[in-house]
Amino acid sequence: MEDMGGSMRHHLMCPISLQPMQDPVTAPTGITYDRRAIERWLAAGHATCPVTGQPLALTDLTPNHTLRRLIQSWRPTSSTPVGVGHRPDDVAANVAKKLLAMASCPPVDVLREAAEVAAQNDVARRNMVDAGVLQRMLRLAVSRAKAKSCHGDNKEVSLDDIATVTACLSLVRALAISGDELRPLVADNHVHELVDAVTDVLVALVPGPSGDPARASAVQLLDAVTEACGAQVLERLRLELFRAVTAVVRDRLSPSATRSALRALLHACPVGRNRALIVEAGAAHEAIELELDAPPPPAAGGRRATELAMALLAELCACADGRAAVAAHPAGVAVVARRLLRVSAAADACVVRVLAAVGGRAASPEVLREMARVGAVGKLCCVLQADCDAAVKEAARAVLRLHSGVWSGSPCVSAYLLSRYL
């Protein structure tokens, strides 16, 4: 019976959140997801089924009532925390009350239990969000992450403090705060506290096996917060935050943490002087390094990371520092050009923006020679032949026209292609 329970639990897991589903919905592809997880996926800008890669829209989802009844009938007898004679909602409410009633720092096991309950019971999750558990967990994580200042000459955060920080941020991640739930915080100006708290946690935690799970949770929360808040908050972001987020990309904590870090940087790009700060933090360099380490044809999971990396480079190249950073990287132009026509239409648009910026009117002769040598010019010619968006083709044509006199005499560029498509 135990094996059957484990097998049943496996089949009730959402492919996105890897947590038991609460409200299952089925896509036309036949894959079933938890409604909250797939809605967050689509709201993040995706337009495909996460498993099959086929086109998917919110209106395509159909409630799976049969599976929902199965989940409801199975959970009371299979859920570990549930005692005899208690419904799951009762147990969840008791855990939430126990957490909120503690004036001091809750024990790690209580935090972990609350995270498990929040992940499995949406009623308890919402109660925790409404009661301010998010803000309390972040304040606790900040105080424990900074506790190294209380240990004399020891500059490292203690293992007990790291365990508490990790448990706090695991609970924050389990709360899965949506944009709708974040908006009241933004409206009440509590978002400044959230951003400052996440910044303090990311800066205070030392990279390594003990602190990396907490860093991953913190950057995933930062992704959600920066998406929901406005320019007034984003323009207050500090260089140390951008350095800490860039370090998450550099350290490759996990694919999801890398994507969250790239998205958080992207959210901040259009505001104020953030582009220059993000370049100063080394993000352009690390985005190129990320793609340099990735396989030439990205797999399904890597494709999204490539799209985000190219989008970030395109935003950073809107400033002179960003263009200089891409041109200064020994493999910068080559790595960007290599992704053209190999990932997606979204990536193609961003790659052409990067090449157009780096190879603009102010491009040095060395950069133009590099673009010809590594095949970037040939790739731009291929864009004119491919089935690309008209705006992307026009951007590629503009760059080729601008420097056709230089590139037509290069042994690395086909003069026939230049003359034919210009």
Q: What is the pLDDT of residue 92?
A: 61
Residue 171 lies in a domain: yes
pLDDT in tens, 3-58: 434 455 556 788 887 777 878 889 988 889 988 888 878 877 778 888 888 888 87
91-134 pLDDT, tens digit per residue, is 666 766 777 677 667 888 888 888 888 877 777 787 788 777 87
Q: Are residues 143 and 201 in the same domain?
A: yes
Q: Quick check: helix, strand or coil at residue 48? A: strand
Single residue among 250, 281, 312 that ends a domain in this structure: 281
Query: What is the predicted pLDDT for the residue at 295?
Result: 74
Distance CA 192, CA 97 (A): 27
Whether 262 contacts 297, CB under 8 Å: no
Domain boundaries, position 15: 10-63
SS3 178: coil
Question: Which pLDDT value is given to residue 4?
Answer: 39
Q: Is residue 177 part of a domain?
A: yes
Inside any domain, residue 258: yes
Q: How far is CA 81 from CA 95, 115, 120, in A?
A: 10, 12, 11
Pick the more confident residue, 399 or 229.
399
Q: Does the structure show a pLDDT above 50 at 81? A: no
DSSP string, 373-401: HTTHHHHHHHHHHSS--HHHHHHHHHHHH
Question: What whole-number percentage of the chain has pLDDT above 70?
Answer: 80
Q: Quick one: pLDDT at residue 144?
A: 77
Do 122 and 267 fall into the same domain? yes
C-beta separation of 362 from 318 below 8 A: no
Instruction: Give dist(CA 376, CA 370) in Å, integer.
Output: 8
Domain match, 313 and 240 both = no
In a domain, 291, yes or no: no
Mean pLDDT in the chain? 80
Helices (runs of H) and strands (runs of E) counted in the chain:
25, 3
Same-domain pairing of 142 and 21: no
Asked whether the predicted pLDDT for residue 151 surpasses 60, the reply is no
pLDDT in tens, 339-360: 999 888 889 999 999 999 999 9
Quote the pLDDT of residue 180: 61
Q: Are residues 303 and 251 in the same domain?
A: no
**What domain count does the chain have?**
3
Together in a domain, 116 and 156: yes
Indicate if 329 and 265 belong to the same structural domain.
no
Interval 268-307: pLDDT, tens: 998 879 999 999 999 999 999 999 988 765 555 568 899 9
Residue 185 located in a structural domain: yes
What pLDDT is attached to residue 320?
94
